[in-house]
Every structure is written in structure tokens, then in C-alpha cells.
């Protein structure tokens, strides 16, 4: 069902980022295993949102799939997530390629088992020439971790520390090849960013919804776009 109040075609965000919260609560609500919520998100929720973004002409979408803090969850859930990544990457890379979507990844993927890291790298390479939309997955990603990793690379650059600027530091971040998010959506009812895109989100419009991510449909995406277009973006001016 399409929302009667559709967003205007102009003034749409170029980049929308998602904090995909609520998968575990969705599973508990439906009396299913924790992994079932993550599975529904990976195989049923994300693709329609990508298709909707393509339809609306949104150039970039980013999904936070695994944080640097998620390693501290129960071993059974972490192992289940790793196996889900293996399955989902294999399936979704081919779908993204067929859609003309370019896949990217941000985060420190070296911490994953080598077969998963290789799948990610292969997916990025396979879709590199696609240009219909850029779909980024934040994997083993944390905003503070990203900034620390960037600072650690400074000695290998030509940037004198005393002359470092926000512009040249931005070139060392994982997101160097994409614009900052115009709209950042968090599902699941929590109203915080939890470090997601900490540097890049300073002027993002924030949209919080109680809808759990597995239930976040294109209609819900549309509601977020309508709200986005009501906002006045001043960028501190």
C-alpha cells in the first residue's frame, strides 16, 4: 500500500543511512529464535528498501549491519550472524549486481573470518562498475573506531598534524567516496545514534521510528522522506 502523502520528487536526500534496530525484539515478539529476526531483515527487508530508493532516485543507501560492539553478544548469536553473513552475502551480491547497484563496505572487515572478508571484497569488486545506486554495508563498524583508524594513518600521509583540517581528515575515513548522509533513520524506538557515522552525521536529519526493522517497509521509508522534506536544513548558518 502506498502512502497517500507521497514525498515530492525534488529535495530528496542523496544519501540515506539506516540503523537497523529491533531485529531481536521482532524475533522475541514472534516467538522465534534471535537469528530469525536478523534473517528476515537480511532476506526480506533490505531489498525492497533498496528498490524503493532506486525508484525515488536516491543515490546512496547505507545499512549498519554489524557494530564493533556486537562481538560482545552471546557466542551463539555472533556465530549465527557470521553464518547469516555468509549466506546473505552470497545471495545479495548477485541481486545487487543484477540491479546495477554498486556494493561498498565500511568498517574493519579484517576482524571477520577470512572467508567472509573475501566475500565482501569480491562483492565490492564484482559491482564496482555499477552506478544505479551505491549500497553500503557497515560491517564491524563503529564511529569512534573509524576515527581512530583514520588518525593512525596520519603518519603515512602528507598532512602535517598542525595543519590537519576536517576536509583532509575526511579523506582518511571509510566514507571518503560518498557524501555525508542527509537523512539517518533509526528503527526500533531508540533515539540515539550509538556512534553510527559519528563524524559524517553532524548535519544529518534524524528520523526515529518505533517500527522494528524487519517491519520497516517502503511505506515506512516514504513516511521518513515526507518528514525529511518538512525540515529546514541550515547547516549551522
Number of domains in the chain: 1
Catalytic site includes residue 70: yes
Q: Does residue 1 lie within any of the structural domains? A: no
- Residue 160: per-residue pLDDT: 82
Out of 51, 70, 122, 130, which one is annotated catalytic?
A: 70
Out of 21, 145, 174, 182, which one is annotated catalytic?
A: 21
Q: Does residue 6 lie within any of the structural domains? A: no
Using alpha carbons, list the distances in angstroms from residue 157 to 103, 106, 146, 148. Answer: 27, 20, 17, 15
Catalytic site includes residue 174: no
Q: Does residue 7 lie within any of the structural domains? A: no
Q: Does residue 236 lie within any of the structural domains? A: no
Q: What is the pTM of this model?
A: 0.93
- Residue 161: per-residue pLDDT: 82
Which domain range does residue 69 map to? Answer: 15-230
Question: pLDDT by residue for the chain (237 residues), tens digit each?
Answer: 444 466 666 689 999 999 999 999 999 999 999 999 999 999 999 999 999 999 999 999 999 999 999 999 999 999 999 999 999 999 999 999 999 999 999 999 999 999 999 999 999 999 999 999 999 999 999 999 999 999 999 988 888 888 889 999 999 999 999 999 999 999 999 999 999 999 999 999 999 999 999 999 999 999 999 999 999 887 776
Q: CATH number of the domain that 186 lies in? A: 3.40.1180.10
- Residue 235: per-residue pLDDT: 74
Nearest to 102 by CA among 58, 82, 68, 132: 132
- Residue 4: per-residue pLDDT: 46
- Residue 5: per-residue pLDDT: 60
Amino acid at each position: 500500500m502506498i502512502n497517500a502523502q507521497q514525498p515530492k520528487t525534488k529535495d530528496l536526500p542523496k544519501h540515506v543511512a539506516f540503523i537497523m534496530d529491533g531485529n531481536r525484539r521482532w524475533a522475541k515478539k514472534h516467538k522465534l529464535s534471535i537469528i530469525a529476526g536478523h534473517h528476515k531483515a537480511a532476506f526480506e527487508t533490505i531489498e525492497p528498501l533498496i528498490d524503493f530508493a532506486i525508484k525515488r532516485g536516491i543515490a546512496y543507501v547505507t545499512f549498519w549491519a554489524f557494530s564493533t560492539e556486537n562481538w560482545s553478544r552471546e557466542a551463539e548469536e555472533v556465530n549465527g550472524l557470521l553464518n547469516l553473513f555468509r549466506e546473505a552475502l552470497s545471495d545479495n551480491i548477485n541481486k545487487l549486481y543484477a540491479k546495477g547497484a554498486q556494493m561498498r563496505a565500511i568498517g574493519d572487515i579484517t576482524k571477520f573470518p577470512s572467508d567472509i572478508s573475501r566475500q565482501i571484497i569480491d562483492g565490492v569488486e564484482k559491482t564496482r562498475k555499477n552506478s544505479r545506486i551505491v549500497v553500503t554495508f557497515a560491517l564491524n563498524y563503529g564511529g569512534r573506531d573509524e576515527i581512530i583508524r583514520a588518525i593512525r594513518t596520519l603518519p603515512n600521509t602528507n598532512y602535517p598534524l598542525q595543519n590537519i583540517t576536517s576536509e583532509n581528515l575526511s579523506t582518511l575515513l571509510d566514507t571518503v567516496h560518498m557524501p555525508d548522509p542527509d537523512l539517518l533513520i533509526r528503527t526500533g524506538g531508540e533515539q540515539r545514534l550509538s556512534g553510527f557515522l559519528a563524524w559524517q552525521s553532524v548535519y544529518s536529519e534524524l528520523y526515529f521510528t518505533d517500527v522494528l526493522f524487519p517491519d520497516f517497509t517502503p511505506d515506512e521509508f516514504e513516511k521518513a522522506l515526507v518528514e525529511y522534506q518538512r525540515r529546514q536544513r541550515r547547516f549551522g548558518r
